[in-house]
Amino acid sequence: MNLPRWIPSEDGEEAALLRELGIASTEELFADVPRKARMGRLGVGAGLDERGVVETIDGILEKNRPYTQFASFLGGRFPTRYVPAAVDAILSRSEFYTSYTPYQPEASQGILQSLFEFQSLWVELTGMDAANASLYDGATAAGEALLLSRRIHPGERFLIPASLPWEEKSVLANYGGPHGVRLEEIPFDHRTGCLDLGAFRTAVLKGDVFGALVDLPNGFGGLDEGLPELKGILGEVPLTVVADPLALTVLEAPGSWGADIVVGEGQGFGATPSFGGPLLGLFACRRAHLRLSPGRIVGATQDRDGRRAFTLTLQTREQHIRRSRATSNICTNQSLLALAFLTYASTVGPRGLAQLAAQLHARAEELATALRAVPGLKVPRFDAPHLADVPVEVAHGTATEFLERLRGRKVLGGVPLADPRPAKSGDASKWFLASATEWTDARSIAKYAAAAETSAGATS
């Protein structure tokens, strides 16, 4: 008999299927599955026609509270920025959004060239020698940097700041755990929020360190002016810097002060946050470490007629070479988001990006001034220089409780800094990061301050 469908759509089909299988009921079909492992009936009602589906979905959507109805001060690693219309217009061209895997260079010169230019842009911002064609996101790019450091230098210990966002610590632990890596957190100065250089030096002198990672800005939004001293302490041990692309438009490139690997999250250049994605991992390193790096690299060459051409020049993933020699098991790269990154940077331009960084800093200062006047808030919690993110401490309750009260007043006040996992929060339970965006103006700041006035002293 012919049973082309897995889900019966007509009376009698299920009975015919059971007869063909030689069993009496679906219960008998699943007899080997323990009852406690079964989901049971899902309670799904009868099917609807198309109009009924639309009405039902519209009713569900009416429960949403659109992001645009809130005054938002969310930021940190995933900033909200205005994306020029040109970015989506270019990304929507079919020759780009269908060209994720350019294995045939003769047919994919457009996407290959865009990835080459993307790599060149990240190299220029970081001061590194070479960049790959992107990774999945900033956190996994940091994980790949850990693995590259281990291939470069022997050891079991990897140093990270205690102020690093907890999500990135978790990803690094996942990457390093199977390789016997021990993550060691270096404390921060509780006045500035910056890395404790004395503790860092002591940790390095203990030996067995194969790498260190720091971030710019750090997990508290601060610009740590002591980072250029780290390479002198580490010597031959590779230094990884997690850098914000916008910060690099106005700060000295990490490559100029000793970084060996620079990674980052590129979502803020051309993509808006959307329930945690899509994201873009940025990765660059020194030329000496290029063949040990993950992912794939687009290179410029010449065709047989002497014309400039582009091709994939390095592919170190396990699908392309022997698994024992592969540097990573990542499947691909974020080509479309890399193109968005390149298009955004090209559209806004070097001067526009520098102006944006200055604008966000000025608005962050205005935000800090307004919140500083609210009883029950310490603003900023740390006094290191900052760009667009302001660390805040609440006097009563936790930061998460305070931010929940703000949300009830249509203010997205910031991102809590505490690790939400049990027994992980510590002092950070009272800290959060409020960020200035391009929509931060006098009206939104006043709305935030007013909502904070009625929320800061409340108890849950």
Mean pLDDT, the chain, integer: 90
pLDDT at 304 over 50: yes
Q: How confident is the model at residue 93 (pLDDT cuts 50, 70, 90)?
A: confident
Q: How far apart are CA 4 and CA 83, in angstroms?
A: 46
* pTM higher than 0.75: yes
* pLDDT value of residue 101: 63
Q: Residues near 142 by Cβ (< 8 Å), separated by ≥ 6?
A: 168, 171, 172, 213, 240, 242, 263
Taking residues 255-279, what's their average pLDDT? 91
Q: How far apart are CA 114 and CA 91, in angstroms?
A: 11
Q: How far apart are CA 125 and CA 241, in angstroms?
A: 13
pLDDT at 457 over 90: no
* Token pair belonging to 341: 């990154």
Q: Is 83 left (phi over 0), alpha (psi -120 to 50) or beta?
A: beta
Q: Convert the pLDDT of each residue in 306-343 to its tens digit.
A: 999 998 888 776 566 666 777 776 766 788 899 999 99
Q: How confident is the model at residue 12 (pLDDT cuts 50, 70, 90)?
A: confident
Q: Convert the pLDDT of each residue in 29-53 to its tens digit.
A: 888 999 888 887 777 788 889 999 9
12 DSSP 8-state letter: T
Q: Contact 338/419 with Cβ under 8 angstroms?
A: no
Q: Contact 227/252 with Cβ under 8 angstroms?
A: no
Q: Where are the domains of the chain?
A: 67-81+350-455, 85-344
In angstroms, the Cα distances linking 90 to 83, 96, 114, 346 are 12, 8, 12, 12
Q: Convert the pLDDT of each residue in 386-397 to its tens digit.
A: 999 999 999 999
Is the model more confident about 426 or about 73? 73
Q: Convert the pLDDT of each residue in 427-440 to its tens digit.
A: 789 999 999 999 99
Is it true that domain 85-344 has CATH number 3.40.190.10? Answer: no
Q: How confident is the model at residue 181 (pLDDT cuts 50, 70, 90)?
A: very high
Taking residues 134-147, what's their average pLDDT? 95
- CATH number of the structural domain 67-81+350-455: 3.90.1150.10
Q: Convert the pLDDT of each residue in 348-388 to its tens digit.
A: 999 999 999 999 999 999 999 999 999 999 999 999 999 99
Q: In 121-255, at which residue ranges do the beta strands (DSSP E only) sit?
A: 130-131, 157-161, 182-186, 209-216, 239-243
In angstroms, the Cα distances linking 311 to 94, 126, 130, 210 are 20, 23, 15, 33
Q: What angle do CA 64, 69, 73 make, to 5 degrees?
A: 110
Task: Give Dmax (Cα) for the chain.
Answer: 78
Taking residues 198-225, what's their average pLDDT? 97
pLDDT at 300 over 70: yes
* pLDDT value of residue 460: 43
User: Phi, psi at residue 194, to the nearest 5°?
Assistant: -90, 160
Q: How confident is the model at residue 458 (pLDDT cuts 50, 70, 90)?
A: low
Run of H or E including 172: helix 166-176
Percent of the chain with pLDDT over 90: 71
Instruction: Find out whether the peptide bond into 380 is cis, omega within 30 degrees of 0.
Output: yes
